[in-house]
Chain A
Amino acid sequence: MSRFRPPAWFVLLLPAIIILAAVVLVPLILSFYSSFTPYKLTRPETLYKWIGTFNYEKAMKSAHFWAAFGRTVLLLTIALNLEMLMGLGLALLVNKVTYGQRALRTIMMFPMMFSPVLVGFQFKFIFNDNVGLVNNALQSLGLTDRAIPWLVDGQLAFIAILTAEMWSATSVFAILILAGLFAVPRDPIEAAKVDGCTPWQSFRHITLPYVMPFIYIALAIRSLDVARAYDIVQIMTNGGPARRTELLWTLIGRTGYVDAKMGYANAMGYISIFLAIIFTVYFFRKLNAARSELGMAG
């Protein structure tokens, strides 16, 4: 009677599989399952009550959910693009500096050292309508004689949140792109100079293609990590007032932890994840199609 012996590759991979299953798979399956239950944190027995797609239907029919979804997509699109452009600009400027560059690079990293909660409090104070820095400065300079409600008006609050988010994250782009700039070889740039290229031409056709992979990496990292801005938004406006700055993070966070409705919160989370995956696949295909038209596929 021979005993079953699993293949060696499986045995070797087993520790990794067990750890992955424990920290990724189990929570994922549990949260997905709970989205089909009326699971409430304060009533653990509700985890065993199956209610089918009730939570999903409720979220799909909720105008508040879709408004928050749209606002989140808008915030991500604007924030990531502006951060990328400003980070690129900052990196190009710092790259030109010959004396004190190390000190500059260190200073550039300061915002990354602040926890998002602190950034939230800092900008909440800066944009406070009564005692905030921005209003006091504007009033002292005689630019306005009224208290501008930065965190109350929907569009102004959006700008305030965007400013806080960009302040804290632009340097991530700058640092990663700067690393890319250091890797650009000098020869082609000097050759381009000799051939009479303008600075813009050498940037567009030599520097940028070299830096592009770094920009993609920075975009990928930031798009995954941008939800950290939850803390900033939570502190600054918590989605309010009157849901004017409600994002998916604040809505789901409040539903899950304050209302204790974890089942419903998970359903909203999964709808957002599925939609994000569908969008990503769609845009990726579009991008690839565009690249192959330009002869850049490969």
Chain B
Amino acid sequence: MGKHKLKVLLGATALAAVAGYASAAEFDGITLQAKLIGGQQYEGLYGRIAEWEAATGAKVDIISKKNHFELDKEFKSDLAAGTLGWCVGSNHSSFAAQYPNLYTDLTPYLTKEEIAAYVPANIAASRIGDALVMLPRAQFDVSVLYYLKSVYEDADNQAAYKAKTGRDLAPPDTWEEYKEQAIFFADPPNFYGTQYAGKDEAIVGRYYEMVVAEGGQLFNDDWSPAFNSDAGKRALQWFVDLYEAGAVPPGTTSYLWDDLGQGFASGTIALNLDWPGWAGFFNDPDSSKAAGNVGVKVQPAGSSGKRTGWSGHHGFSVTETCENKEAAASLVKWLTNEDSQKLESAGGSLPTRTAVWEYVLETAQSDPYRAEAIAAFQAGAGHAFPAPQTPEWIEATNLIYPELQAAILGDKTVDEALADAAEAVDEMMQENGVY
């Protein structure tokens, strides 16, 4: 009996060794070229590539490392020039729809169980039509409300707000209340109630989620513009009112994410709708004057009762022209597997696998601030929706944002700005043959 057991054990060990050897040689001699997003918060994960190389025998040659806007330009140049010899590329749900033919469908390389391990909403946003064009990494983004606790704890503020509105001062749950409080807190040029991204895709994304929260849509089903509506006007009016009241810094129309993050960290902004990547930064005394004073809450709701939730996530894709799709898909799986996602989400970013969400919540319990932030983001993720999935999205944002700015700065009325933007988008969609 004992001998028999030993034999089985030996046999199993030998099998495992052979299997291990086989998998080590699986992609021997293959070199995959990759174009990946660069930046401090993204680099940690790339350390794991060496482990995948050791396990499979393949080599990864990172031939380009840039931010997404620069990568986007490079991908477009590659498509135009036909220089598509590389295999693995960083992708983003807001950009993916622009290159429908660049990336291959990953469905044949994954089992149903493997796909089911990702958060279903993230997988849905990783598809173009039926094709699964990327696997989501632990860089999921949805914005929630960060606020300075001190302005709510201040007795004078509480009394004055009660006298003014008849309500108790507490972090807002609706965008109407948010606006009211932002105007109430503002004391320019030293302190502002809030701020918002003021240009490029960023402001259009913010406007888009506000339109949805007001019960409207940015586009109709045929992709004709739908934002020149009552909901669209109410949404834009919100931005205009804050600007006119001096509740936001006057330069907010030129701000992008970094300016907003630095602004809130300077302790001169009371309320800030922002991304998960900033959670650690805001509460770190080395980087933020607001450290120890930051509260985090699920994002407010619009007049329709819906909450804002424009979201996006990073992912990895395999090109249609890749000669070793199997190896490339294996790398992409590796970079988004449970261990990879645990590693990345330890840095504060949000995972896209159900099991890793549970792990993150569990490990955050010892730190009250992190637990508060993770709970807010988990609640926020429940209301998330992706950017409009059309190749024309970025081009549409470039037509819409100058008009939004014109209304905010008073060059045009809300009605004029939205009418002009809708006309420009309609013309572009027709010219591009969308309808």
Q: Write the residues of chain A forming the contact surface with B, with a CB cutoff of 8 angstroms.
A: 38, 41-44, 128-131, 135, 139, 145-152, 237-238, 240-243, 254, 257-262
Is B76 an interface residue, CB under 8 A from the partner? yes
Give chain B residues whose Cβ lies under 8 Å from the Cβ of A145: 189
Shortest distance between the CB of A58 and any CB in chain B (Å) = 9
Task: Report whether B411 and A258 are in contact in the complex, using a CB–CB cutoff of 8 Å.
Answer: no
| Contact-residue bracket for chain B | 35 or more
Task: Report whether B405 and A42 are in contact in the complex, using a CB–CB cutoff of 8 Å.
Answer: no
Is B57 an interface residue, CB under 8 A from the partner? no
Is B79 an interface residue, CB under 8 A from the partner? yes
Given the interface pairs A41-B77, A44-B80, the reply to whether A151 lies near B251 with Cβ below 8 Å is yes
Contact of A257 among B76, B79, B189, B409 (CB under 8 A): B76
Task: Report whether B254 and A260 are in contact in the complex, using a CB–CB cutoff of 8 Å.
Answer: no
Residue of A129, A254, A262 contacting most chain B CB atoms (<10 Å): A129
Give chain A residues whose Cβ lies under 8 Å from the Cβ of B76: 41-42, 257, 260
Task: Report whether B394 and A258 are in contact in the complex, using a CB–CB cutoff of 8 Å.
Answer: yes
Shortest distance between the CB of B394 and any CB in chain A (Å) = 6
Give chain B residues whose Cβ lies under 8 Å from the Cβ of A130: 189, 192, 249, 251, 263, 266, 268
Contacts A/B (CB < 8 Å), 27 sampled = A41-B79, A42-B76, A42-B80, A44-B82, A130-B189, A130-B263, A147-B188, A147-B189, A147-B249, A149-B251, A152-B251, A152-B253, A238-B199, A240-B253, A240-B401, A241-B198, A241-B253, A241-B408, A241-B409, A242-B406, A242-B409, A243-B406, A258-B72, A258-B398, A259-B394, A260-B76, A261-B395
Give chain A residues whose Cβ lies under 8 Å from the Cβ of B254: 151-152, 237, 240-241
Given the interface pairs A128-B251, A240-B253, A242-B411, the reply to whether A42 lies near B199 with Cβ below 8 Å is no
Task: Report whether A241 and B199 are in contact in the complex, using a CB–CB cutoff of 8 Å.
Answer: yes
Give chain B residues whose Cβ lies under 8 Å from the Cβ of A260: 76, 98, 395
Bound complex: CA of A260 vs CA of B198, how far in Å?
23
Bound complex: CA of A42 vs CA of B268, how far in Å?
43
Given the interface pairs A238-B199, A238-B200, the reply to whether A259 lies near B79 with Cβ below 8 Å is no
Shortest distance between the CB of A50 and any CB in chain B (Å) = 16
The residue on A at minimum CB distance from B249 is A130
Task: Report whether A131 and B402 are in contact in the complex, using a CB–CB cutoff of 8 Å.
Answer: no
Give chain B residues whose Cβ lies under 8 Å from the Cβ of A147: 188-189, 249-251
Given the interface pairs A41-B80, A147-B189, A241-B409, the reply to whether A129 lies near B250 with Cβ below 8 Å is yes
